[in-house]
Each structure stands twice: as C-alpha cells, then as structure tokens.
C-alpha cells in the first residue's frame, strides 16, 4: 500500500465521523513468548489499515477539522541506545516525513495531551474492551474532563465503536488491496503445488510445512497468515490441527490448510491430496463430493446473492453425496432440514478474508444475511470429516477432506484468486506423478 492509500482511508473515516469528533486507536501490545523472547511483532490490522505504521507502543489520534492537523501519531522517541539493541524507530520526524502524520508526539506524552484533544468533542470513536489497560487510561481522561465541567470543560457524551466503523470500510477491498490479496493467493497456491510435489510416505508433517514456509518467504511473504495445518490421515479430521508432528502414512490423505500474508493481507487455501500420489476409490468418491459441493458454492458467489447461499448450495451437494454413498439414510430434503450432514460437516462454508484471515465485517444486516457486493472477498471451504464412527463402514474411516479457495465478488460474478492451486483429482495425480 502507498501513502495515498492510507490517506484515502483516513479521509473515508473522517467523512463518516463528522465534525466535533475524535478517534483514538492504540496499536497491539507486544506478546511475550517466554522470558526474554517475544513473538514477532504484528500490529493491529485496523491500526495498519489507517497508518501503515508498524511500531508497537503507538497510538493514532484523528481529529477531523483540527486546524493544527487532523492526524496525530504518538510513537516512541528516537533512542540510539535502544535502537542498537532492538531496531530502528521512526521517531516523531519519521512519523511525519515517512508516514504522513500531520503532527507527532512521544508516546510518553499521551496522558498530558489526550485530555486536551478530547475536550469539546461530542463523540469519541474508540473500541472499549479490546485493550483493558488502555481502557483504564481512556476512562481516566474522560473522568478528568468530567470533573472539570465547572470550569466549562465539555467531555464527549457518546463513545462509538471505532472498530465497527473501520470494519465496514475494510469489507470492501480497493484495487490495491485486491492486488495484494491476489499476490498472497498466488504465492500460497505455489506453496501448495510445492507441497504436493514434495510429499512422500514416511515424511514428517512438519517437513511438508517447511516446504510451504520456504515458498512463502522466498516470494516476499515473511509469515503465514495463520499457523499452517498439515494433517495426515486422522489428523485431517481435526479442524484446527497445528501440531504437524506425525509421520505421513502411505495410504492416507494429507490435508493442508496454509496461506501466506503479504503486505498485511491474507490468503487462506486448503488442498487435500493422497500421500502416495494416488487416490483410493473411497477417497476419490468422498473427495469428488466435496469438490462438487465447493464448485456449487462458488457458483453462488455473485452480487445480489446473500451470504448464506454458498453454504446452502454446499450443504445440499454434500448431503446428496453422502446419501448416494449410503453414509446417510433417508429423504434428502429431510436430511438437509435436520442438518444430518453435521456429523461429517460441522463448520460453515466460509468467512470474510482480508487483513485478518477471519476478516471483519458483519454477516447479517438488519437481522438478514448480508447481500454480496463487488469488492468483498470470502473463502469457500466445504469439507467432510469421517473419523471412526461404529455405524460407518471402515473403508471410510479417518478421511478428512477440505477444499478451500479465496473468492472475490466482482460486478458480474466472482473471481477465484487461488485458482492456481490444482484441485481436480486428475490434475493432482498428474502433478504428483511428474514429481516422482
């Protein structure tokens, strides 16, 4: 993203905020891993969305119409000794020159300056409950102003959830956001191809994971968007399996759910393929049901359809497929109504995708499923997970299958951003055979 992108976003926010308002947004805190070791820092998505600024201990303040500057960035001061140990800091000059702040102050001055900025405003856009230690400070500043009301000071009478306001903006992706997401999806698709080419019986799941991470990093995606799921056989039936520490067995399927993060944007792709390169007949039968369900769901992604239509399409195809294989018994319409498929398909068919892998944005508006509109991006990810229920023939046991793509809603329909990752049985088998 460029400085212009961030400026446009702040302007969009200010248009919504209106006059006599203020927005306050602290960045995410550093998370400790163990003793002196912290997790790699990844800033709050909304903070990055507005600023492109990625240092911890920073706070964005936006005051529409403020004569001395509308966009204030509080951040760490430059400090050579600290920079030698922990890395570069933009400081106040950098906040203005590099990140387009109208004004910048040391983060240590926040308590002195914030009450003055809050004074006289009618509404404060701030998200309570996300960062309790910052909530305390906010309450302190507001109380300070309330206590000074006899001196004619006025404190905001309304607190409006800033995150919700930003979430609705983030739901609609701009051209440059779509470009970043397309790239993240492309790199991730290549990583899935690489995993298919690499996989052999006897390998450890984490060795396949290493191939995926290598492909991400080699292509400028420094981190996965979420911990990769690399689950062979029965581990493919664990929806959030991230241990990735078992050996791959000859006749098992391998389910990989992995996506790269590029410039703060996520891809989220799942592919399932045979460890030895060839699907068995039962595996193929189940796989093709999931694939048909996924294709039917993707067909429902178009403007004017509502959020739940892809899920409804997937559920109909999955249930019919299970019925045809004898894994469910009864009348199709009744099985769908009773949600009998839930024994084998217990999650929903997708979610919004963007800066967060489970991205922001409401799914219902006014109590109704939201209509899909151009610029939204969602995943379509049906699956079937058959562990070892006694009433099911053993030939189906421990088969976990999910196929997940990232789909952009366009003006006339959809565009599958992750289409470079093969998903037809023949294509996967040919790719794996060629790699041997």
What residues are annotated to the active site?
36, 240, 257, 268, 347, 351, 358, 381, 385, 402, 404
The residue (of 14 and 230) whose beta carbon lies closer to Mn ion is: 230
The residue (of 378 and 386) whose beta carbon lies closer to Mn ion is: 378
Residue 379, CA distances (Å) to 179, 299, 301 in order: 17, 13, 10
Q: Interaction with Mn ion in 77-136: which residues (CB under 5 A)? A: none
Q: Which of 25, 296, 357, 428 binds ligand GLY (CB under 6 A)?
A: 357
339 sits in the region (left: phi over 0; alpha: psi -120 to 50; else beta) called left
Nearest CA to 362 out of 409, 371, 84, 254 is that of 371
Rounded (10°) CA dihedral 381, 382, 388, 393: -140
Residues 221 and 187: their CA atoms lie apart, in Å, by 8
Separation of first and last alpha carbons in the chain: 40
Q: Which of 55, 268, 300, 406 binds Mn ion (CB under 5 A)?
A: 268
- Count the residues of the shown chain that bind Mn ion, applying the rule CB under 5 A: 4
Residues 235 and 401: their CA atoms lie apart, in Å, by 11
Tell me which residue has its CB nearest to Mn ion: 257
Site string for ligand GLY, 121-150 (x = CB under 6 A): ------------------------------
Q: Which of 163, 205, 268, 406 binds ligand GLY (CB under 6 A)?
A: 268
Question: Helices then strands (H, E): number in the chain?
Answer: 13, 21
Q: Which does 44 bind (CB under 5 to 8 A by kind): Mn ion, ligand GLY, none?
A: none
DSSP assigned state of 143: H
The SS3 assignment for 104 reads: strand
Q: Interaction with ligand GLY in 76-95: which residues (CB under 6 A)? A: none
Q: Which does 226 bind (CB under 5 to 8 A by kind): Mn ion, ligand GLY, none?
A: ligand GLY
Tell me which residue has its CB nearest to ligand GLY: 257
> Least Å distance between CB 353 and ligand GLY?
9
What is the residue whose two structure tokens read 């964005």?
60
The residue (of 92 and 379) whose beta carbon lies closer to Mn ion is: 379
Q: Interaction with ligand GLY in 376-435: which residues (CB under 6 A)? A: 381, 404
Q: Which of 44, 252, 257, 356 binds Mn ion (CB under 5 A)?
A: 257
Which stretch in 52-60, 250-258, 329-337, 339-347 sits in contact with Mn ion by CB under 5 A? 250-258
Nearest CA to 156 out of 17, 355, 330 is that of 17
Residues 86 and 96: their CA atoms lie apart, in Å, by 22
Q: Which does 369 bind (CB under 5 to 8 A by kind): ligand GLY, Mn ion, none?
A: none
In 275-330, which ranges are E strands?
none
The residue (of 252 and 404) whose beta carbon lies closer to ligand GLY is: 404
Question: Do 138 and 104 form a contact (C-beta atoms < 8 A)?
Answer: no
Q: Interaction with Mn ion in 51-70: which residues (CB under 5 A)? A: none
Residue 257 binds ligand GLY (CB under 6 A):
yes
The SS3 assignment for 26 reads: strand
Percent helix, strand and coil across the chain, each to the nearest 5: 40, 20, 40
The residue (of 163 and 257) whose beta carbon lies closer to ligand GLY is: 257
Residues contributing to the site for ligand GLY (CB under 6 A): 226, 257, 268, 351, 357, 381, 404
């Amino acid at each position: 993203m460029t400085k212009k992108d961030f400026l446009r976003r702040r302007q969009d926010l200010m248009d919504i905020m209106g006059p006599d308002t203020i927005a306050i947004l602290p960045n995410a805190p550093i998370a400790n891993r163990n003793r002196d070791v912290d997790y790699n820092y990844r800033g709050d998505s909304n903070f990055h969305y507005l600023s492109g600024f990625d240092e911890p201990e920073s706070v964005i303040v936006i005051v529409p119409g403020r004569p001395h500057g509308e966009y204030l960035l509080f951040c760490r001061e430059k400090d050579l000794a600290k920079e030698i140990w922990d890395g570069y800091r933009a400081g106040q000059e950098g906040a203005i020159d590099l990140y387009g702040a109208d004004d910048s102050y040391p983060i240590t001055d926040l308590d002195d300056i914030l009450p003055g900025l809050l004074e006289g405003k009618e509404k404060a856009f701030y998200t309570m409950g996300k960062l309790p230690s910052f909530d305390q400070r906010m309450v302190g500043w507001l109380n300070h102003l309330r206590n000074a009301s006899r001196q004619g000071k006025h404190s905001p009478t309304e607190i409006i959830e800033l995150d919700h306001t930003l979430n609705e903006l983030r739901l609609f992706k701009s051209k440059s956001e779509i470009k970043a997401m397309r790239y993240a999806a492309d790199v991730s698709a290549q990583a899935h191809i690489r995993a298919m080419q690499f996989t052999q019986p006897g390998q450890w799941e984490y060795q396949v994971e290493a191939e995926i991470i290598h492909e991400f990093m080699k292509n400028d995606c420094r981190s996965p968007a979420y911990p990769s799921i690399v689950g062979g056989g029965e581990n493919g039936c664990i929806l959030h399996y991230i241990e990735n520490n078992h050996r791959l067995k000859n006749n098992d399927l391998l389910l990989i759910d992995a996506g790269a993060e590029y410039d703060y944007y996520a891809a989220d792709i799942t592919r399932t393929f045979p460890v030895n390169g060839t699907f068995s007949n039962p595996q193929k039968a189940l796989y093709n049901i999931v694939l048909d369900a996924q294709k039917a769901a993707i067909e429902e992604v178009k403007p004017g359809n509502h959020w739940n239509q892809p899920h409804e399409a997937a559920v109909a195809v999955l249930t019919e497929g299970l019925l045809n294989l004898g894994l469910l018994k009864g009348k199709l319409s009744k099985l769908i109504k009773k949600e009998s498929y839930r024994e084998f398909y217990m999650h929903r068919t997708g979610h919004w995708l963007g800066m967060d892998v489970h991205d922001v944005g409401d799914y219902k508006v006014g109590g109704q499923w939201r209509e899909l509109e151009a610029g939204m991006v969602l995943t379509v990810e049906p699956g079937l997970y058959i562990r070892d229920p006694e009433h099911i023939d053993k030939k189906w046991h421990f088969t976990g299958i999910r196929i997940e793509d990232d789909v952009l809603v366009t003006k006339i329909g959809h565009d599958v951003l992750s289409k470079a990752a093969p998903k037809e049985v023949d294509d996967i088998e040919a790719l794996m055979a060629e790699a041997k």
